Amino acid sequence: MKQILIYDGDCQFCRLSLDFGIRHLTKFPRFVAYQSINPASYGLSLKDVASQVWLVAPSGESLKPVGGYLAVAHILLEQPEFYWKWLGFVMKTRPFSFLADLVYKWVAKNRHRLPGGSRACKLEDTFDEKG
């Protein structure tokens, strides 16, 4: 998986979600906290990256950024296990895509209220913009 997942490195819920993905998904993209990059170099604004996760192409590759529930669905579709692929497919299929979008937006808006505030572990980025 060549894409890079941009996430909120200051959000403990986001870090827990990232940790879950790393532990449970066979194929996981490289990842970096938006606080460590220049979002404009990926065609995104600070508001974009602060509001949801994004899957972007490495510099020099032309792949449109994909955000929110679609980024999650894309990661799931890349998995070799049927159940993750199936979940990614369902998330992108109407009418479930509407529900996936609503749930993702609610979670993103309320992530500061969700579990994880006491997490002490620090995940290290697996991508460095400088090379």
Helix (H, G, I), strand (E, B) or coil at 8: coil
- 64 pLDDT band, cuts 50/70/90, is confident
Number of Cβ within 10 Å of residue 119's Cβ equals 13
Rounded CA gap, 105 and 75, in Å? Answer: 18
Rounded CA gap, 57 and 24, in Å? Answer: 23
Token pair of 99, please?
């529900």
Predicted local distance difference test score (pLDDT) of residue 129: 64
Predicted local distance difference test score (pLDDT) of residue 119: 40
Predicted local distance difference test score (pLDDT) of residue 86: 97
Predicted local distance difference test score (pLDDT) of residue 122: 39
Q: Dihedral, CA atoms, 29, 52, 49, 14, nearest 10 degrees?
A: -60
Q: What is the mean pLDDT of residues 66-75?
A: 95
Token pair of 91, please?
């998330």
Helix (H, G, I), strand (E, B) or coil at 31: strand
CB 70 within 8 A of CB 63: no
pLDDT digits (tens, 9 = 90+) for 75-125: 999 999 999 999 999 999 999 999 999 999 988 888 777 776 434 333 455
Predicted local distance difference test score (pLDDT) of residue 36: 92
To which residue do tokens 């998904």 refer? 25
CB 16 within 8 A of CB 40: no
Helix (H, G, I), strand (E, B) or coil at 120: coil
Predicted local distance difference test score (pLDDT) of residue 111: 79
57: left (phi over 0), alpha (psi -120 to 50) or beta: beta
pLDDT digits (tens, 9 = 90+) for 20-54: 999 999 999 999 999 999 999 888 999 999 889 99
Instruction: Tell if the pTM clears 0.85, that is, is over it.
Output: no
3: pLDDT strictly greater than 80: yes
pLDDT digits (tens, 9 = 90+) for 7-28: 998 888 888 899 999 999 999 9
